[in-house]
Amino acid sequence: MSKNSLGLPIGTTLDRFIKKKQDEFPYATGELSQLLRDIALAGKIINREVNKSGLLDIAGAYGSKNVQGEDQQKLDVIANIRFTRALRNGGQVCAIVSEEDEEIIHLNPNCRYVVAMDPLDGSSNIDVNVSIGTIFSIYRRISPVGGPVQEEDVLQKGQEQIAAGYILYGSSTMLVYTTGHGVHGFTLEPSLGEFVLSHAILKCPEDGKIYSINEGSWKYFDKGTQSYIEDCKERDLTARYIGSLVADFHRNMLKGGIYIYPKTENTPNGKLRLLYECNALAFIAEQAGGQATDGHQRILDINPTSFHQRSPFYIGSTKMVAHAMSFLK
């Protein structure tokens, strides 16, 4: 039977892969493995809902705003409910911070794990059948198990993540995750309903030719970012921007590129949220050999002070991120 670069048979399911990884750690309790399986289940459920968009009355605006004052889409709300339910039923999580909820969602206080998540990112793309994603970060709580979850359990630096990943609802559905030992990608086999190992070890090219930024906001960018974009054009790089962070990041990680959401005149910290958008992708980028900064410092070193805080974001191929940063000094 053909084997991939991890020595596992082609067609290895996510469940089997997680089990194999767990067996490599003699003291593993199996709780994290179960949590990853719960996330995969939530991803499959959201995938089912996303696929029905356009057939049922689940596309379009929900008629409410989230904590950041942004219009919630119906599928944003559905994904948040489905994800929270899967994690509650799975029983491994003591608290969730979600883009869609202002406060911490308290689950089982006897559990060790905290999850930060954006259940459905890029949701303005839902109605037009363009790729969207789920992003998640997993932390071990700091306060004692059994007691109430504290703010410090949630406000941890990105470098404390013990696992992170995303699910990309694209031309195929993929789950990509890391536990700090490389990045692994699984593609959903729809007829089986199983995520199957398709990208044993994901590596981000050191350099690339793609830059991804919403150039419509050009006049609001800082001078450094403007100069860097001019430089990209001078060097005949290719512009690609979907407006779905997971999809833009995934493409650039595979092909080599940089994704930028800078600070602007009206948004001094950019748009993207540190806890459940930037940190997870920064962890994955670094594990794949890439880099992620806020333009000045490593994303994973930022000390969060609030659940929904934002950060400028420069992520992708190491050389490109370093070059972009040289314009920001």
Q: Which residues bind ligand AHM (CB under 6 A)?
A: 70, 99, 118, 121-123, 214, 243-245, 248, 271
Instruction: Give the whole-angstrom CA distance, residue 112 versus residue 94.
Output: 6
Tokens for 130, please give them. Answer: 């363009």
Q: How far is CA 270 from the centre of its chain?
A: 17
Task: Give the nearer residue to Mg ion in terms of CB position, either 136 or 186.
Answer: 136
Q: What are the CA-CA distances from residue 28 to residues 14, 18, 22, 139 (Å)?
A: 17, 11, 6, 15
- 3-class secondary structure, 271: coil
8 A C-beta contact, residue 299 and residue 282: yes
Question: Which CA distances in Å does 130 have to 42, 166, 168, 242?
Answer: 20, 16, 11, 8
* C-alpha torsion sign, points 300, 301, 303, 308: negative
Of the candidates 235, 285, 218, 296, the residue with the CA atom closest to the CA atom of residue 256: 285
Comparison of 98 and 287: residue with beta carbon closer to Mg ion:
98
* CB of 70 or CB of 160, closer to ligand AHM: 70
CB of 272 to ligand AHM, least distance (A): 6
Which span sits near Mg ion by CB under 5 A: 115-123, 125-133, 222-230, 313-321?
A: 115-123
Q: Please report how close the Cβ of residue 174 comes to ligand AHM at its closest, in angstroms.
A: 16
Q: Is 76 in the site for Mg ion (CB under 5 A)?
A: no
The entry of Mg ion, ligand AHM, none that residue 231 binds, CB within 5 to 8 Å by partner kind: none
The only residue of 38, 76, 100, 118 in contact with Mg ion, by rule CB under 5 A: 118
Nearest to 211 by CA among 226, 198, 223, 197: 226
Q: How far apart are CA 114 and CA 167, in angstroms?
A: 18
- CA nearest neighbour of 270 among 325, 217, 191: 217
Which residue, 17 or 83, is less far from ligand AHM as judged by CB?
83
Q: Which of residues 120-149 bind Mg ion (CB under 5 A)?
A: 121
Indicate the residue among 36 and 79 with the shorter CB distance to ligand AHM: 79
Could you tell me the smallest distance in angstroms from the CB atom of residue 276 to ligand AHM?
9
C-beta of 29 vs 68, nearer to ligand AHM: 68
- Residue nearest Mg ion, Cβ-based: 121
User: How many residues interact with Mg ion (rule CB under 5 A)?
Assistant: 2
CB of 121 to ligand AHM, least distance (A): 5
Find the shortest distance in angstroms from Cβ 209 to ligand AHM: 20
* Least distance from ligand AHM to the Cβ atom of residue 110, Å: 31
Displacement of CA 150 from its chain's centroid (Å): 23
State the residues that interact with Mg ion by CB under 5 A.
118, 121
